[in-house]
Structure 1
């Protein structure tokens, strides 16, 4: 399913039943199925590997609390600026997944509080609007994206003010109470058009009785949060920083091992020994740089290969042959390069010590 950047797509995603894992069969039980049933079972497992399963990690829990508090506070009628939430972190850490999950949860909670519609639907209620900021956004491009999220028709001749007013009126009529703005780092406030777009978004948010949730890459160091414009917004936004997992202490290693085990539990393979990948937790940390998104992708890709080749288990050799994303590769390359001089120095030091000892003994 594509990113839900229209009302219709969002509602289809919000209403979609939560994914259910396939029944875990043994190799013998799968083999006993008719050929057509085997193919259907494999297709079900392959789809499950790409399902939107969100772990209740510490980041998700913290963000949930922050959004819940901000949403409750923002319900109060007030003419002052409302509290917003920003989720920051490197790519592949799961920012978009987290905010989409929170938006979906908010959507369902709001609809559950509403009186039942006589025909089982309420087209006049859309609690959440999801917007992706386009690269190098101008004010008009930004408003186009918002109007797209509202399924509003627009023409290239429409002015920014017209689009803004139309979006405000529509969100008010739809009783929108949460606006998710993803890829917010695309607002480059060190350029005039970027600063104008950021100002347009600020003014837009001030006119809506809604909680704004922003997500973007490395926001505390982005132009939006460090430039002159930051004085207008940083006092209104609570930032949660998502960080890669670490593997230095026993506690950190235990957290990572549990995460590997949770990801491994999602692999419905007929010959894979349960929790066997936890023995390779250190290796998996090195391959993924502590990124949950990269870990899940690596294991899912390996499990897909195991299903397609009928080997039905994920081994160290299979993981070695399964590529990771470019960012994880670059991190690993940089880490290896940084470690190389120290190891070379140790070898050279060891060699000099042996030579000196040999000379002394002679």
Structure 2
């Protein structure tokens, strides 16, 4: 293959078939390791370190909380899959919301489920060289030609810069059909939300491509409602064929909202795997956790996992308890910190 034909460099960890499909196929939800403090104390330093390394890796990689909105995303994608075989009337799903609300996590689990459904139907899908799931990102100021190039890169299909949009689209559709693709996740859709000439062409190319394949599109992006992607002449065509799931911060104003929030906290506590921290320990601090994170699942995950990591790394298993003091000194992502600094009424937080 000449240098001219080489696919562009990878854009992320999900956008190559050879990376994504094994990751989805091997995904499981590991349970916390069984904790026996007396046994832990009887081990030598190397054994304790190995056990702690396993705990650290599981906390970083595997904690997922089944919030109601995640359940809704999976439900809508499953429903859309039932319509995918119809020649007309197929549907897609918009997944939208601000940053740190769990969109990527929800999309990942939708892909896991899609692969599992495919495997039940085609147990030998690997030998048949199927590509049940495809993931691609829309780059800023993406042209339709570049977008189709990214899809070809996902399949590791060589192409030349002079390959036309029509040729690229036909190549992509050929591989989607041949791979029996059932779910196409198109991420960073906010990059098409302002439909200039180039973005309009990209959005039109996406619609045309999906007209020719029997796959569910899952459009993922920030604050997509009310944009040109769901309004106007072209947006109306996307909107008429799709349902929308909005991810946002969880509330704490009503008893029902508080119960949901405590359920999320409990789910995290069950998975932290700390020696001296029993689930429900943080229930009295539910309002504090909500205030610190603004109800963001992403911020809550970062907060609790960071505290858990620090406790394990401190090397004192008897002190592995998440406390309000520890919670208050953890720095969160910049966006959450800015909201916290401003306060709910917009007034700066006291130092």
Instruction: Provide the TM-score with structure 1 as the length reference.
Output: 0.87
Distance in 1 separating the partners of 2:272 and 2:111? 27
Distance 1:70 1:273, change over 3 A: closer
Q: Tell me whether 20-29 or 155-164 shows the greater mean CA deviation.
A: 20-29
Distance in 2 separating the partners of 1:135 and 1:196? 14
Distance in 1 separating the partners of 2:322 and 2:72? 32
Distance in 1 separating the partners of 2:259 and 2:32? 28
Aligned to 1:175: 180
- Counterpart contact for 1:272–1:313, Cα < 8 Å: yes
Secondary structure at the aligned position of 1:199 is classed as helix
Secondary structure at the aligned position of 2:282 is classed as helix
Distance in 2 separating the partners of 1:340 and 1:152? 53
Please, which of 105, 118, 143 is the counterpart of residue 113 of structure 2? 105
Aligned to 1:7: 17
- Counterpart contact for 1:22–1:44, Cα < 8 Å: no
Distance in 2 separating the partners of 1:152 and 1:58? 39
Alignment of 1:124-135 (within 5 A): 124-135=129-140
5+ residue gaps, structure 1: 342-362
- Counterpart contact for 2:92–2:242, Cα < 8 Å: yes
Q: Tell me whether 152-161 or 90-99 shows the greater mean CA deviation.
A: 152-161
Distance in 2 separating the partners of 1:200 and 1:17? 32
Aligned to 2:9: none
5+ residue gaps, structure 2: 1-11
For residues 149-200 of structure 1, the C-alpha deviation after alignment (integer angstroms, 9 at most, x for no partner) is 2222223232222211111111111111211111111114431111111111
Aligned to 1:278: 283
- Counterpart contact for 1:294–1:325, Cα < 8 Å: yes
For residues 73-93 of structure 1, the C-alpha deviation after alignment (integer angstroms, 9 at most, x for no partner) is 2213x1x35211111111111
2:40 matched to 1:35?
A: no
Please, which of 185, 192, 199 is the counterpart of residue 187 of structure 1? 192
Secondary structure at the aligned position of 1:151 is classed as coil
2:326 matched to 1:321?
A: no
4+ aligned runs moved over 3 Å, structure 1: none
Provide the aligned C-alpha RMSD in A: 2.0
Please, which of 282, 299, 303 is the counterpart of residue 298 of structure 1? 303
For residues 39-72 of structure 1, the C-alpha deviation after alignment (integer angstroms, 9 at most, x for no partner) is 1001000001112343332112222222222111
Aligned to 1:344: none
Alignment of 1:148-227 (within 5 A): 148-227=153-232
Query: Computing the radius of gyration over CA atoms, which structure comes out larger, 1 or 2?
Result: 1
What displacement does 1:144 show? 1.6
Distance in 1 separating the partners of 2:339 and 2:348? 14
Please, which of 235, 238, 248 is the counterpart of residue 233 of structure 1? 238
Alignment of 1:112-151 (within 5 A): 112-114=120-122, 116=124, 121-151=126-156
Instruction: Provide the TM-score with structure 2 as the length reference.
Output: 0.89
